[in-house]
Amino acid sequence: MPETALGVWLKGLREEKKLSLRDLGQRSDVDHAYIHRLETGVKESPSEDVLDKLAQALSATKRDREILHHLARQTNVDPNILEFVRKDLSISADELHMLSTVVNRGTRADYATSLARIRRMMMDDDDG
């Protein structure tokens, strides 16, 4: 099963906290095997309750919580975008959503350029 964006993001949060699957399972009261299935992409759509338990156990920021919820709802997000989003803490869950819908025809995705365009459009929309 290929990686999912949700799995990549969840695993990244867990590893940042230096928690094993069992540790996170115990802290969140979510079975560690289920967490593993989420991280590996075998399971894709956890309930809001499970996401909240995991976020709480990970002491996730508001941004990370919003991104987790977004990725659980939007299962077609390319996991490759997440490295860019993780490095730039100014990128919101809403901006991730917009970035993940940009189509790059025949070219490699340039997330920085796409983000700048999205932000310009949002500013123009606010001004107009």
| Percent of the chain clearing pLDDT 70 (strictly above) | 94
pTM: 0.88
Torsion of CA 101, 106, 111, 114, to 10 degrees: -70
The pLDDT tens digits of the residues spanning 83-101 come to 999 999 999 999 999 998 8
Backbone angles phi, psi at 95, to 5 degrees: -70, -35
Instruction: Choose among 92, 55, 95: nearest CA to 72.
Output: 55
- Residue owning tokens 């969840």: 10
- Residue owning tokens 């156990």: 57
Q: What value does the mean pLDDT take over residues 45-55?
A: 96
The pLDDT tens digits of the residues spanning 103-117 come to 767 677 788 989 999
Give me the pLDDT at residue 2, please. 62
